[in-house]
Structure 1
């Protein structure tokens, strides 16, 4: 087969640029891709017709790759409509449009209708290199695992293939991408509003301490001139790192992780904080002590989500508001500050439910150094409530929350999330 000269164009979006880091890490360690030209498109406005035309002149194929959340889908659609004008003038056969990430995985049909040729399903560390390789050789798409595409107006899905977390790095030295280190993936809880269990599966997988240590060593080498290196982690529930079932904490594994990272030269360690929050039922005295001893963050983040046990049950959270109270009290007693996440607007949430959340926040504030981070329900693709209608926030509840939050104790993106959620439907035709 003839080898195609291929240009890979990565659309770098500010909020999730790090989604490409592990893929680039895989490519840079594979000799087959050492000469693969990659163009980082950080500002779509700079993608002029002359630039796209020059790409087509120099290469046989130009592959545009996107990774995006549901909240980013409308802006991505707008970009695709502009990009399609260039493509229609220069020849569709020269271009391939790939989409990956939470939204494309959760809503394959909609994503393909947006104008993408291929959707990468779920994790792509195994499939993405094979897809690029097959595109270079013009091989049929069915040879690539873990993708979806239209064929004769039907969606074809190939069998997924995942790599264990220890088989790849979540950063790229060559392309200078050093995001928070992913230490675990997957979640057994299946909260109805969250995409993690439905995109990555309900079995929790972990990266070993030895491989995490290699990550940290690379990070320290990169940021040596700063005089210190901040180490943060990505996990759906950091308090279950090393857990066999993802439900019960493994304090020994967590202590080994934090002790190992902390022992490395000039590393500041942040744990159970964004983007690796913890669940309240897992936060106990032993873990609070471990965090206090090894971590540099004095603020921990706990997922509370609602003050109403009825709503917590509907969400499939698997804990009660009393678990939240207990976790916060343990944290405060161990000299830690707490930020508790709450989600308003869940489908069928009533005024009474919202008042219970308001009262829960008031109760938590009395305990000491506690903040509340407010979110508004967004129907995310691929979740059980993807097509549900958000509940409006009662005006009096909202007024009281604003009063309560004076001084910065309540924060988040409640208004912007409301605006998106209530106008979330967008035309993909």
Structure 2
């Protein structure tokens, strides 16, 4: 049975940089291979002819290019997809589906069914977990997996192979006699100590060593942010339960990837790294003891920043910490249930600035409850805490989250949209009643003006000479081992700066 796991095209339609391999699909592939399914391949449609633009300040405008590529049958991405389908002739295809990429999922499913109508098309990931009924509005989608996918997909392909009933497969949704059946969820967690099957990637030579360094040391998040798709739907899929990997398994994967792909820069892609201080200390001590000689990055929260842990993290090779702050408004932080305060943010920033580790602070704008004063407060806080790098992004509404419900109550978001709007609307505008209005508290023209000002101010904050030098120095270990990455980063940096000057 030939199984094809697909990460559909998205960034390549815009020219933005595409980094890392599809980790979730690699876990699915590993689980299948461990149970005897040898004919498994992963197609990452963004990795071929990928862009290298790292300036996301005009992301909204550039994403308009996505709609053009998505609906252009002659775009190379769809020709490449067809070539892969013809080579592997899958009996089962599993497509990874986020909210913003769902148009790509629909076009991929359409292409599969056009040429291989008997192929079973399954979608998994963020959007089908949030809204398991919605994918079935597309006739080309046969089944949906809700929540973590490895065990459910394994049981599904076993049942298809052996012609067994589907009713006892947890977290599976499917059509039966004109009805949509949602099998119950399960409390059984996945085995995250399995090493992702990077070798199943079709275009493995298109990735750099750094791309292959994405891995997790834990899964899940115990916090309750009102905007987060993972946590709020976690009440259905157990993704709010934190699973820690066995540290021996983490060390084994680091060593394997370092030696096989010449990787010196890793990213620990945990939902909230450092939930357990004791475990963070233990992991860092093992990395030091084993003499792995790597660098790594992680994402965490200000309330998890600890001075002792920071010192060990730096010694263990941590050279980048990403912090989700979201807003500089105490009022907004309370409404979105972030669980932090401005005072806590400032204290954590002081520790980070003192640590010597390069770090970035990340914010959102365009929340349905946001005011002009809130947006201004975000910039004020960013300048006060003075991170080496700062990012601000347009908020994307995620259905089934509490913040989405607030937007519906305010009349800013639609509870539902027609399925064809995923093919005709800008991906940041899904579920908006009026694509030009993101909050009732700011007129669209004024919001556009403020958002452009913020993007410009954040950009100029990031191109300060000291910040650029610190960022390059933080990656020097990788550059010493792989000179190509140095010249690649220099080229990207020059393009980023000259584009705006």
| Distance of 1:396 and 1:173 partners within structure 2 | 44
Who is 1:424 aligned against? none
CA contact (8 A) 1:66 1:99 kept: yes
Query: Helix, strand or coil: the match of 1:142?
Result: coil
| Distance of 1:359 and 1:214 partners within structure 2 | 44
**How much does 1:381 deviate?**
3.5
Who is 2:37 aligned against? 33
**How much does 1:17 deviate?**
2.0
Computed over aligned residues only, the root mean square deviation of the Cα atoms, in angstroms, reads: 2.8
Query: Quick one: which of 318, 335, 355 aligns to 2:339?
Result: 318
Who is 2:216 aligned against? 182
* 1:234–1:163 distance in 2 versus 1, CA, 3 Å: farther
Who is 1:125 aligned against? 150
| Distance of 2:169 and 2:252 partners within structure 1 | 30
* 1:410–1:235 distance in 2 versus 1, CA, 3 Å: farther
Query: Helix, strand or coil: the match of 1:108?
Result: coil
CA contact (8 A) 1:102 1:195 kept: yes
Who is 1:8 aligned against? 3
CA contact (8 A) 1:28 1:174 kept: no
**How much does 1:167 deviate?**
5.6
**How much does 1:382 deviate?**
3.5
| Distance of 1:80 and 1:172 partners within structure 2 | 24
| Distance of 2:188 and 2:265 partners within structure 1 | 27
CA contact (8 A) 1:105 1:382 kept: no
Q: Does 1:169 align with 2:187?
A: no
* 1:162–1:132 distance in 2 versus 1, CA, 3 Å: farther
Deviations 1:81-120 (A, max 9, x none): 3444335xxxx4x221100011111111111212311111
Who is 2:424 aligned against? none
| Distance of 2:84 and 2:326 partners within structure 1 | 46
CA contact (8 A) 2:6 2:93 kept: yes
| Distance of 1:26 and 1:192 partners within structure 2 | 32
Query: Helix, strand or coil: the match of 2:258?
Result: helix
| Distance of 1:41 and 1:292 partners within structure 2 | 33
Q: Does 1:207 align with 2:207?
A: no
* 1:236–1:322 distance in 2 versus 1, CA, 3 Å: same
* 1:173–1:343 distance in 2 versus 1, CA, 3 Å: closer
Query: Quick one: which of 22, 27, 31 aligns to 1:22?
Result: 27
**How much does 1:189 deviate?**
1.5
CA contact (8 A) 1:171 1:179 kept: no
| Distance of 1:307 and 1:54 partners within structure 2 | 51
Who is 1:239 aligned against? 274
**How much does 1:133 deviate?**
0.9
CA contact (8 A) 1:166 1:208 kept: no
| Distance of 1:52 and 1:231 partners within structure 2 | 32
Deviations 1:216-258 (A, max 9, x none): 23223312xx3x5333211111121xx3xxxxxx2x3212102
| Distance of 1:394 and 1:39 partners within structure 2 | 41
CA contact (8 A) 1:125 1:162 kept: no
Who is 1:216 aligned against? 254
| Distance of 2:289 and 2:179 partners within structure 1 | 54
**How much does 1:262 deviate?**
3.4
Q: Does 1:375 align with 2:369?
A: no
Deviations 1:2-29 (A, max 9, x none): xxxx321222346662221111111222
CA contact (8 A) 1:10 1:39 kept: yes
TM-score by length of structure 1 reads 0.78
Q: Does 1:397 align with 2:434?
A: no
CA contact (8 A) 2:91 2:120 kept: yes
Query: Helix, strand or coil: the match of 1:33?
Result: coil
* 1:23–1:291 distance in 2 versus 1, CA, 3 Å: same
| Distance of 2:219 and 2:189 partners within structure 1 | 10
Who is 1:281 aligned against? 303
**How much does 1:353 deviate?**
1.0
Query: Helix, strand or coil: the match of 2:287?
Result: helix
Where in structure 2 are there 5+ consecutive unaligned residues?
A: 10-17, 46-76, 205-211, 413-437, 465-501
| Distance of 1:395 and 1:95 partners within structure 2 | 45
Deviations 1:188-212 (A, max 9, x none): 2221211121244322221121221
Where in structure 1 are there 5+ consecutive unaligned residues?
A: 1-5, 244-249, 412-429
Who is 1:103 aligned against? 127
Q: Provide the aligned length of Structure 1 versus Structure 2.
A: 374
CA contact (8 A) 1:165 1:206 kept: no
TM-score by length of structure 2 reads 0.68
| Within-5 A mapping of 1:256-405 | 256-271=282-297, 273=298, 277-297=299-319, 299-365=320-386, 369-386=387-404, 388=407, 389=412, 390-391=438-439, 394-405=447-458
| Distance of 2:86 and 2:249 partners within structure 1 | 43
* 1:191–1:232 distance in 2 versus 1, CA, 3 Å: same
| Distance of 2:357 and 2:87 partners within structure 1 | 56
